[in-house]
Structure 1
Amino acid sequence: MKTETTSKWNGAGVALACGALILLFSLGIRHGFGLFLQPISIEQGWGRETFAFSIALQNLVWGMAQPFAGMLADRFGAKVMIMTGGVLYALGLWLMSVVAGETMFVLGAGVLIGLGLAGTTMPVIFGAISKLVAPEQRSMAMGITMSVGSFGQFALLPLTLGAIGFLEWDGALVALAGCALLMVPLALGIRRPDAPKSGAALPDTTTVRDALSGAFGNRDFWLLSLGFFACGFQVVFIAVHLPAFLADEGVDVSVATVVLALIGLVNILGSYLAGLWGGRMRKPMLLSWIYLARGALIAGFVLMPVTAVSAYIFGALMGLFWLSTVPLTNGTVASVWGVKHMSMLGGIVFFAHQLGSFAGGWMGGWLYDRTGNYDMAWGVAIGLSVLAAALNWPISERPEGKVA
């Protein structure tokens, strides 16, 4: 057994490294979009809702396309989907830089980048890696991959801010488009699993229809999905609107950049620990505690006077819980429904996350334009934490049907 596990890790090493770097670019670029809200809106004479709607639509398109991207990746391999996603991602960033009217901006920032993200993020990457490692190593593999992706959120933020200052915001978007294209050659390192050797366990013969029927008929699948809605709302609302919120409170924009970078840096540890503990403890229970911790942290941040120091503390602590939900949620999908259709099923769960992302990104701007502050949006984020904790707690990890 030890030899088999080691062999699977060695065989997955290149795929894990390339997948982690793909997440580094995909998530790192996206994490800095909030830095463009004010300069683009001011120069174009738009309200904040236009930019917020574009990012919200991006998350909605991403979520709607994710199950189909996952289904194609499960069927034909992740390599083609990642390469296609990288090209669409770069094209969307370039179209954002042109700003040929609001409609074209929304097409680039919302539709093209949303499709690009569907091919280059967690459900596709995790689905490919999970097929290459032993079951007892899956949670750890996802945690490691997510940790490297989180480093991108830390490393690319100051580079993005520097590019905006040196190249202006449109030149910075072109530079980021070049970074997105790097995901195309990295996709070559994502291989498909070897065919089972003679005498090995028979492969999972579950069809797409069987997988969908089993998941949709399971209460826990819906609880997991609804809980993930809260995660999407919170992370996108904070990533997009925190710089503007801090500016409204009289805090310099450079502080927001450091805060978002801190979130990405500390999330390296948070994602790793989530992957580590997810292999030892009940993952839905860990998800409940993460959501409760998020809610308490947000409440403390907005109820206390907002300063640079309090913002730094908020960023460092939020990083522990930022994307630590991702390996635990995808790990639960793998544990219960297996890995053959994991990219598809994980994509469906992720669609709920992206519905929340749409709500968080768009509602933040909508509520601000109508009330002049973010108080109501912060309140919704806190309430969703409590709801998500309650939804995840009763979820069982008992395998359903055949588990690879």
Structure 2
Amino acid sequence: MPQATQVAERSSRRYQPNVPLIILSGCIIGALSFGPRATLGLFLTPMSSEFGWGRDVFAFALALQNLMWGVAQPFAGMMADKFGTGRTLVLGAAIYATGLFLMSMSDTPLLLQVSAGVLVGLGVAFTSFSLVLAAFARSVQPKYHGIAFGIGTAASSFGQFLFAPLGLGLIDNFGWSNALVYMAALVILVPLFAYFLRGQSAAAKTGGSVDPQNTMTLSQALALAFKTRDYILLIFGFFVCGFHVAFITVHMPTFIVDQGFSVSLGAWALALIGLFNIIGCMFSGVLGSRVPKQYLLSVIYLARAIAITLYISLPISEASTLIFAATMGVLWLSTVPPTSGLVAIMFGPRFMATLFGIVFLFHQIGSFLGVWLGGVLYEKSGNYDAIWWLGIALGIFAAIVHWPIREQSASKSALVRAPA
């Protein structure tokens, strides 16, 4: 008996995760994954001008990208839960880089939709920060989840801050086509760091010791999730997040040009969003461990609605644009730490990649509509007014639906008792 105990202890030590290395590697992956796709709005003007496309053509391709990202995210989560995060990230990096490379040769709307839309969307799904956060959840003690999620999300934001001026510089110096090739080469670096996120923690493999959530099968976890009112409300709210961030990422650089400013202001606005998002994510991660996460989310979405209203209602200038970008940066992905934290609280870490992936699917449905409607309504009206006001209304809606969410574990009794 003592010998068996010693073997078990040695096995436990052998598979003990190296948490600092996991966090560092996950942060680098988040930056490399999020950075290139966050700059693709800079390619709208040069590609549309060269091939004579309307804005709706490019917008549809990137809308399709967001939709594919969302549809594939639950499957990426299932693959990470079953086969390990590292293998999933390697597959995603290969698809992602291929999509960017083919986008560099896209001279027809169909090829643009396949490359920038389908392949980049799939690649981002299989390398996204949601997989990184799930790996953090399996390796970091629950009391530090908020901080770890904030760090991981902030690293993704740093990717946007880094790649926005980098992408503009590559376009100006080498042309839009070569710029995409260089970004594809950077994405290929992901597998080097994915190695350190391979596998799962011992607790995730064995199902833990006392947490009843860890004894569930995937089908039971899915059934529980869709019988949990709070999870459904979280899905509705995250839909709005996707609508906001995707519309602004893709269309704001061109919107700024429409106001008579240079494209460089648009690039720096995106970079400023990424920079201040680092602050917002870190602050949200820390604050989410001290105040109810659902109330924090309500405040964030209401603040977004107020910021957009002020920006489009007051005279637009370089200063107001940069102030708006900084404000939205603080509010940008600060929704992710409390949202992912609520999923972890409700269902535990075992199937978090899958369950957060489903929440993220609806985020990306919102992203699809934000990007696509932005292009369609612009072509119909010649301006972005309608889509801005729709974003304001959705921000208020999200603030309302998050308020009644409860920060507590979902009960297994929900499997046999439908909510009233």
- Taking the aligned partners of 1:188 and 1:100, their CA distance within structure 2 comes to 36
Matched residue SS, 1:98: coil
> Of the candidates 324, 331, 347, which is equivalent to residue 314 of structure 1?
324
Q: Aligned partner of 1:38: which letter?
A: T
Q: Deviations over 1:100-135 (max 9, x none)?
A: 422111100000011001111122111111000111
- Taking the aligned partners of 2:304 and 2:290, their CA distance within structure 1 comes to 22
Gaps of 5+ in 2: 1-14, 413-420
- Taking the aligned partners of 1:308 and 1:195, their CA distance within structure 2 comes to 52
Q: Deviations over 1:150-198 (max 9, x none)?
A: 1111111111100001110000000000011111211111033443599
Q: Aligned partner of 1:354: which letter?
A: Q
CA contact (8 A) 1:123 1:342 kept: no
Matched residue SS, 1:398: coil
Aligned-residue offset at 1:15:
1.2
4+ residue runs over 4 A deviation: none
- Taking the aligned partners of 1:174 and 1:184, their CA distance within structure 2 comes to 18
CA contact (8 A) 1:270 1:323 kept: yes
| Map 1:160-175 → 2, pairs under 5 A | 160-175=167-182
CA contact (8 A) 2:129 2:156 kept: no
Alignment coverage as a number of residue pairs: 395
Gaps of 5+ in 1: 1-7
Matched residue SS, 1:43: helix
Aligned-residue offset at 1:328:
1.1
- Taking the aligned partners of 2:137 and 2:17, their CA distance within structure 1 comes to 13
CA contact (8 A) 2:56 2:379 kept: yes
Q: Aligned partner of 2:83: which letter?
A: F
The match for 2:209 is: 201
| Map 1:224-373 → 2, pairs under 5 A | 224-373=234-383
The match for 1:70 is: 77
Q: Aligned partner of 1:350: which letter?
A: F
Q: Deviations over 1:215-235 (max 9, x none)?
A: 000111110001001100000
- Taking the aligned partners of 1:358 and 1:9, their CA distance within structure 2 comes to 40
Sequence identity percentage: 45
TM-score, normalised by the number of residues in structure 1: 0.95
The match for 1:121 is: 128
Query: For residues 401 and 133 of structure 1, do their structure 2 counterparts lie closer, same or farther at Cα, with a shift above 3 Å needed?
Result: farther
Q: Which moved more, 1:84-93 or 1:143-152?
A: 143-152
- Taking the aligned partners of 2:181 and 2:201, their CA distance within structure 1 comes to 39
Matched residue SS, 2:215: coil
The match for 1:84 is: 91
Matched residue SS, 1:40: helix
CA contact (8 A) 1:93 1:177 kept: yes
- Taking the aligned partners of 1:72 and 1:233, their CA distance within structure 2 comes to 26
Q: Deviations over 1:31-63 (max 9, x none)?
A: 111100000001011000010000000000000
TM-score, normalised by the number of residues in structure 2: 0.91
Kindly report the root-mean-square deviation, in angstroms, between the aligned alpha carbons of the 2 structures: 1.7
Q: 1:153 and 2:160 equivalent? A: yes
Q: Aligned partner of 2:71: which letter?
A: M
Aligned-residue offset at 1:92:
0.4
CA contact (8 A) 2:17 2:201 kept: no
- Taking the aligned partners of 1:212 and 1:341, their CA distance within structure 2 comes to 9
Aligned-residue offset at 1:327:
1.1
Aligned-residue offset at 1:139:
1.1
Q: 1:186 and 2:196 equivalent? A: no
Matched residue SS, 1:367: helix
The match for 1:143 is: 150
